[in-house]
Amino acid sequence: MEYKRILLKLSGESLQGKQGYGIDPERLKDYTTQIKAIAEQGVQVAIVIGGGNIFRGMSGAQQGFDRVKGDQMGMLATVINALALKTSFDAIGQRARVLTSIRMEPIGEFYTNDKAIRLLNKGEVVILAGGTGSPYFTTDTGSSLRALEIKADVMLKGTRVDGIYTADPEKDPTATKFDTITYDEVIRRGLKVMDQTATVMCKENKMPIYVFNMDKVGNLQKVMAGEKIGTLVTP
């Protein structure tokens, strides 16, 4: 295996699947089945899930919501998605635990990095919900923070495209893909891999980021096997 402990960032929008809103049970099962497969091979998996399929705080602020309240609503959306993941893992026999950045027992247990690492060492998939617990931070930044706190080998960013391109490949047919790219070039080019705070945090702490298409079944296993199907961001 290429990596022993990973932080997998999944977007909330990806859970919409083909239905275009909410949570698509088929997409949910695709994700959890793939994650179970690598967990059974000994990979320790922590997951951060976004909430954009339910509510996005920044979008809410643009529509007149108070930014702090909007971000708090977004944090709760990530908890809903985390519970959906947990339910799906339970259904396929994979032990999983939801840890939240804000106390909300019995919905989830309060997150500490020591608890997360202890559960990972026991073979449980750890679902980290609620972002950082503070407004004005995205779940991308939450992912970077958690990846560093749990001492992950890599932060995997599962998206609907197969890596980082010179431009948005869904809008620009001439966009070309990078196999590898540096943090500095991502920032200089203004590439929308994830928000700049998250990118800088990974850069300063030398946390590699691997961007790949999670929506294609089998890709997560290929990443774990060392196949070069996405884009690696390194110093």
List per-residue pLDDT tens for the chain, 235 residues long.
Answer: 679 999 999 999 999 988 888 999 999 999 999 999 999 999 999 999 999 999 876 665 677 778 899 899 999 999 999 999 999 999 999 999 999 999 999 999 999 999 999 999 999 999 999 999 999 999 999 999 999 999 999 999 998 889 999 988 888 889 999 999 999 999 999 998 888 999 999 999 999 999 999 999 999 999 999 999 999 999 8
CA 156/CA 45 separation, integer angstroms: 10
Strands, E assignment, the chain: 5-10, 44-49, 96-100, 109-110, 125-129, 154-159, 164-165, 177-178, 180-182, 209-213, 231-234
CA 214/CA 206 separation, integer angstroms: 23
Q: pTM of this prediction?
A: 0.94
216 Cβ contact partners less than 8 Å away, ≥ 6 residues apart: 162
Q: What DSSP designation does 1 have?
A: -
Give all domains of the chain, ordered by start, each with its CATH number.
Answer: 5-234 (3.40.1160.10)
